[in-house]
Amino acid sequence: MSNTIDANVVTRMNQGGPAARDASQSADLRNNFMTLLIAQMQHQDPLEPMDNHQMTSQLAQINTVSGIEDLNETLSGITDQMNAGQTLQATGLIGKGVMVPGDRVLLEQGEDGEPHTTPFGIELPQSAENVSVVITNASGQVVNRYDIGSAKAGVESFTWDGRTSEGEAAASGSYRVRIEATSGDKTVNGTTLNYAVVGGITPPDQNGGVKLDLGAVYGQVGLDQVKQIL
């Protein structure tokens, strides 16, 4: 009779398979371990009895199964708490404007006849001495280009006045923004941010955390994508 308990059981537990998620199955596995161990002791060769090392090894494997089960339960509890916290945090963002990675700027003509645009921003890994903004239309043509001076490391938001380089009001619609940042003669690579309003949330599932619904234009993003709340 083999003196080695089936290692596949430990592997199944470690991989978080059905045995790890079902307490009754875990109890059955431990019972099978003990039954096998007792059977080995009862049928061992009297002239070559199982030594202390074998006994300790098999008991350690039983403890490993129990330890993995307890660890999985603990991690599951922590995950549930994190998901609940994320859901609560996300719910508080419904109806609010957020800055997320993207390059869109929306423009519409107001009742006062003046163009109104959504904010845009940039996330820089380091400060930049010179930051330039380039606005392009749906055809890729440059509508306006202007300098906004220096910017600190981190997230900063800006607004475009909705006018072309000639000073005329641009047509209503969706535009793209590109930000060019430099420090001395070196380029500072940053992430362009656009504005969106949180319309709802998608609760977390087994495939990921809670998602923010930003509408048909921007789709859904995770909480970690929110760089600024306006």
Residues 131, 149 contacting (CB under 8 angstroms): yes
Examine the pLDDT at 80 and tell me if it is beyond 70: no
pLDDT at 4: 41
pTM assigned to the model = 0.63
Largest CA distance in the chain: 102
pLDDT at 198: 94
pLDDT at 48: 61
Comparing 66-75, 110-119, 186-195, which segment has the lowest mean pLDDT? 66-75
Q: Which CATH number, 3.20.20.140, 3.40.50.2300, 2.60.40.4070, 3.40.50.300, labels domain 101-195?
A: 2.60.40.4070
Examine the pLDDT at 22 and tell me if it is beyond 90: no
pLDDT at 110: 85
Tokens of 108: 């519409």
Residues 6+ apart with CB under 8 A from 86: 204, 209, 210, 223
Q: What is the average per-residue pLDDT within 117-137? A: 95
pLDDT digits (tens, 9 = 90+) for 165-224: 999 999 999 999 999 999 999 999 999 999 999 999 887 766 667 889 999 888 999 888
pLDDT at 51: 57
User: DSSP string covering the chain, please?
Assistant: ---S--HHHHHHHHTT-HHHH-HHHHHHHHHHHHHHHHHHHHTS-TTS---HHHHHHHHHHHHHHHHHHHHHHHHHHHHHHHHHHHHHHHHTTTT-EEEEE--EEEEEE-TTS-EEE--EEEEESS-EEEEEEEEE-TTS-EEEEEEEEEE-SEEEEE---SB-TTSPBPPSEEEEEEEEEEETTEE---EEEEEEE--EEE--BTTBS-EEE-HHHH-EEEGGG--EE-
pLDDT digits (tens, 9 = 90+) for 33-53: 667 667 766 666 665 655 556
Residues 6+ apart with CB under 8 A from 214: 98, 100, 196, 197, 198, 199, 220, 221
